[in-house]
Structures are given as structure tokens and as C-alpha cells.
Homo-oligomer: A and B are copies of this chain.
Amino acid sequence: MAAVFNQIAIIGVGLIGGSIARAALEKGAAGEVVLFDGNADALKRAGEIGFGKPAAGIEAAVANADAVFHCVPVGAMGATARASIAAMKSGAILTDVGSVKGNVARDFRGLGRSDIHVIPGHPIAGTEKSGPDAGFASLFENRWCILTPEPDGDADHVAATDRLAAFWTALGSKVERMDAQRHDLVLAVTSHIPHLIAYNMVATAYDMEAVTEGEVVKFSAAGFRDFTRIAASDPTMWRDVFLNNKEAVLDVLGRFEEDLTALRKAIRNADGQKLFDTFTESRRIRREIIDAGQDTASANFGRDKPKT
């Protein structure tokens, strides 16, 4: 295919940054990929793996890029963008991959380069692994990528958004445009609160003095092990998500706690009908997610396959 961008810069070569670089080169969505990471070891490793050209500094990395992807924890986005904004080409795209969009959009737009297109983004993809070796080119295939362009952007801004959308489409993603605040509320539901309660469940289990850690590990296949996978995600990334999406997270968490109180009451009162009705509805949602191609229908995600 014809490259969507002649050159892109990837700031932060972890799971997501590394996967974008690999996918962009493998699918020809970018002519050239330039890499930078504040962690010299990670940058060196990325160069060894060979999914882009390491740059000597962050300004050098962005200088000729048509699009700059900041792939660092949400709390570090402001700093990496500030450190490189002056070196960016006029007309280039400034974007990111963070799990929170409101604060990132505000930070990026406050940098004062009106000749640059600020289009924050969020590919809904990932695994519990971190680092340059964790990435792979097919990570974004059949996954959604949300872009949050300026709501009242001019024709140039719309065209830039179209180019960025074409890039993600070339990587196999389906693209959705959304208001940043709405993104933050939707993701609080589908991602941030699920991660918070998974982390919390794991913490509760290892803090139970009456149950040993060995018992928790041995009998984890009963359901708990699924939570530990989610709770093995990068701690810095998730700390920043909760610090930067406080309002939506506290809103959804409040509703989660209200619903949990109702289930607790049903258990205390032996209200089997309430429990049964709640549990029955969940199966329907699972069916929809599988039908939408967002998960496998295989039992246990296919990890305990019947041996034939």
C-alpha cells in the first residue's frame, strides 16, 4: 500500500509504541519510523529488534515526522509533548495512545502550536505485558481505535483526522471519533473500573490473614486467575489512568458500589430471585460481545482446550 505518512515518530517504545512501529512498517502505513525513549536501555533494545530507527534525542526524533505518537503513561504525556513540540514540523499531527483523553487533550492544546493538529487517540488493544519485546504487529487488528479531534476543527483539521484514521485503518483497526469527555466515561466503564476492581480483588485475597497465599494460588483456577491477568498490567500506566480520570472513575465506581450493596443485601436476605435475574442478564451481554467479534467463544478463552 501507499504509505499514509512518510515518517512517523514513536515516543516510548513499550507494548503499544512498539506494536505501532512494527505494524506501520509491516503494513507499509509509514515510510519510516523514528523512535525515542527516555529509557536508554529500552531504546537500545528497540533498535536491536529493528522496528524503527532510534533517534539521539526527542527533538531529533520528531523533527521530520508527519505524525508524532506519544506512547508513554498518561501522566508523562504532557512532559514528552512539551519537550518536543518546538521541534515539530508545521502541519504535523500530535497524537498519543493514552487511556484517558480529556487531560491529554487539554495538555496538548495548551502547548501553543496552533499550526499543529492535536488529535489525541486511544487504540483499544493491549495485553498485560510491558516493554519493547511485548509488542506485535497484529495487536490492533479488528480492534477499535478512538480519535478525539477538536469538536469544531476546520477543514484542515478534519483532513488531518482523516489521515490519522487512515493510518489506524491500515493497521487493521476500526476507527471511531468521539468527544474526549465521552471517551473518558465510556472507558471508565469498559476498562478503568474493571481494572480497579481486579487489582482490588487481588489485594483483598493476599491480605486475608485467614487464607494463605499458597491456597489462593493453588485454587485460583476457580475464577480468581482471570483477575490476576488484568491486575498484572503496568502499574505506572494504571496509576496515571486513575489520577487523570478521577471524575468519571469515581462516578462509575459509585454506581458499582451501589449495585454491589444491592447484591450483598440479596445474599443476606436469601433473595434467590434477585441473584438469579442479575446473573441471567449477564449471559446476554457476553453473547453480544462474542457476536461483535470482540472476544473468542471458546470456553475459558481457549486456554484449557480439550485435548484430542
Contacts and interface: CB of A to CB of B under 8 A. Distances in A.
Interface of A: 75, 99, 124-129, 134, 136-139, 141, 143-144, 146, 176, 185-187, 189-191, 193-208, 210-211, 213, 215-233, 235-236, 238-240, 242-243, 246, 249-250, 252-253, 255-257, 259-260, 263-264, 266-268, 270, 272, 275-276, 278-283, 285-289, 292, 294-296, 298-304, 306-307
A190 B222 contact: yes
Residue with the highest number of chain B CB atoms closer than 10 Å, among A199, A220, A266, A267: A220
A236 B280 CA distance: 9
A241 to B, nearest CB: 9
A187 B219 contact: yes
Contacts of A226: 194, 226, 229-230
B189 A211 contact: yes
A77 to B, nearest CB: 15
Nearest to A193: B201
Nearest to A240: B272
B208 A252 contact: yes
Given A196-B263, A235-B280, A127 B303 contact: no
16 contacts: A137-B306, A186-B219, A191-B224, A194-B201, A197-B260, A213-B288, A216-B285, A217-B292, A220-B294, A221-B294, A232-B283, A235-B276, A242-B267, A242-B275, A250-B268, A302-B303
Residue with the highest number of chain B CB atoms closer than 10 Å, among A198, A223, A278, A299: A223
A27 to B, nearest CB: 12
Identical chains bound together, number: 2
B219 A138 contact: no
Residue with the highest number of chain B CB atoms closer than 10 Å, among A198, A224, A266, A299: A224
Contacts of A75: 272
Closest 3 CB pairs of A and B: A191-B222, A127-B299, A235-B279
Nearest to A299: B127
B306 A200 contact: no
B138 A306 contact: yes
B185 A301 contact: no
Given A136-B306, A208-B252, A282-B203, A294 B218 contact: yes
B246 A267 contact: yes
Contacts of A236: 276
A303 B306 contact: no
A281 to B, nearest CB: 7
Contacts of A295: 220-221, 225, 228-229, 303
A199 B279 contact: yes
A282 B195 CA distance: 11
A222 to B, nearest CB: 3
Contacts of A282: 198-199, 202-203, 228, 231-232
Given A279-B199, A306-B137, A250 B264 contact: yes
Contacts of A146: 219
